[in-house]
Amino acid sequence: MRRPLWLLCLLAALAHAGDWPRALTAYRGATPTIDGRLAGGEWADASHFTGVRDWTPQFSPTTDDRDLALDGWVKHDGTNLYFAFRITDDCLYGIDTPRWSPKENPHHDDLTPRGFPWFGDEMELLLNASNTWSRTDNENAAGDGASWQMVCNLTKSRLGGIGPGGLLEGEPRSRKLAWDNYQRFILSGAMVAAARLQRTAARAMRHNGAGTSFHDLPQPRGGVYVIEWLVRPDPCLEVQPGVFWSPDLGEVRMGLNIALGDLDTPEAGAGNWGNFHHEDWWTGEKNKRTWLKQYGTLIVEPGPMPSR
């Protein structure tokens, strides 16, 4: 059966953009301060996106923005690539709850390859700078400058230990090459992320002028937190062997996926692996979302965002 020309053109365009037909564009803008605070206008020149009810759920689907939602931004300043996320979450693990352990791993907070870096409230960036992949299943990030998967956790980090949020080595953490590269990214400052609790639910009610005194409010639970993330091209964005992204390359397309993890109480995640409540992915299918061929596309333009 012959396919019409318009369908062939569409399929070709989708293949060029990546197997999952979803894309973000990063334009050139002003340099943000990576401090976990969204200063006024700091991300106004960035591309904006939202989630997560239209993302792919790995565990319980998110159906209410009051439960879990995010605003995200992406841009570059001609030197580095930047992401920002503002997350609304109705229950914060390790803040509203104890640091409970999953039955799958009592060592989940170890800052070693046997720990779970993504166990908690967290964001993950998966970037395939080379934008190449095979058609085989189970091909994940290599753990180098060409493709990687990194974690920013709200309540633990490589630099701060348990409590302060920040970057952790992601997947494949059991592969020594990846673990060593990821540690080098963090310790050298080639990748920087700041995670900060912006406000709790009770403080938000008080600041909004609710007619109840602060001490009469229910126990504080949930709130808003912010993650800002810097990625330096060398060594983190190797678009070709020995070639790192720069605006001089013109428009560059990279594979991209983003995950938002939400760990509440064990009861909220009953029946899910690790008792996770939510883990929502920008692209990909359930159980396949980390495969390179299931990424979407990050289009990095050399110039600023066109005027609206």
- Residue 129: give its domain's CATH number: 2.60.40.1190
Structural domain includes residue 118: yes
Q: In the structure encoding, which two tokens stand for residue 296, read together?
A: 């979407």
User: So what's the pLDDT on residue 219?
Assistant: 55
Structural domain includes residue 288: yes
Structural domain includes residue 12: no
User: So what's the pLDDT on residue 201?
Assistant: 53
Structural domain includes residue 14: no
Q: For residues 78-99, b (16+ Cβ closer than 10 Å) or e, as one string?
A: eebbbbbbbbbbbbbbbbbeeb
**What is the DSSP-derived secondary structure letter of residue 213?**
-
User: So what's the pLDDT on residue 213?
Assistant: 38
Is 295:19 a contact under the CB 8 Å cutoff? yes
DSSP secondary structure letters along 248-283: GG-SEEEEEEEEEEE---TTTTTTSGGG-SEEEESS
Residue 76 pairs with which residues in a beta bridge?
28, 81
Q: Check the CA dihedral 148-153-156-159 and report its sign.
A: positive
Query: Which ranges in the chain belong to alpha helices (H)?
Result: 5-17, 176-188, 201-207, 233-236
Residue 46: domain span = 21-302
Structural domain includes residue 246: yes
Half-sphere exposure of 50 (CA within 13 A, CB side): 6
Q: In the structure encoding, which two tokens stand for residue 143, read together?
A: 């753990």
Is 99:93 a contact under the CB 8 Å cutoff? yes
CA 296/CA 259 separation, integer angstroms: 12
pTM of the model: 0.89
Pick the closest to residue 26 from 304, 307, 281 (CA basis). 304
Structural domain includes residue 190: yes
Q: In the structure encoding, which two tokens stand for residue 105, read together?
A: 């791993």
Structural domain includes residue 196: yes
Pick the closest to residue 68 from 84, 54, 89 (CA basis). 89
Q: In the structure encoding, which two tokens stand for residue 118, read together?
A: 């993504």
Cis peptide before 172 (omega within 30 of 0): yes
User: So what's the pLDDT on residue 307?
Assistant: 85
Structural domain includes residue 221: yes
Residue with structure tokens 């939202």? 50
107 burial type by CB count under 10 A (0-12 exposed, 13-18 middle, 19+ buried): exposed
pLDDT tens by residue, the chain, 308 residues? 344 433 333 333 344 435 789 999 999 999 999 999 999 999 999 999 999 999 999 999 999 999 999 999 999 999 999 999 999 999 999 999 999 999 999 999 999 999 999 999 999 999 999 999 998 999 999 999 999 999 999 999 999 999 999 999 999 999 999 999 999 999 999 999 999 998 765 444 333 444 433 334 455 689 999 999 999 999 999 999 999 999 999 999 999 999 999 999 999 999 999 999 999 999 999 999 999 999 999 999 999 999 86
Is 131:254 a contact under the CB 8 Å cutoff? yes
Give the chain's domain count. Answer: 1
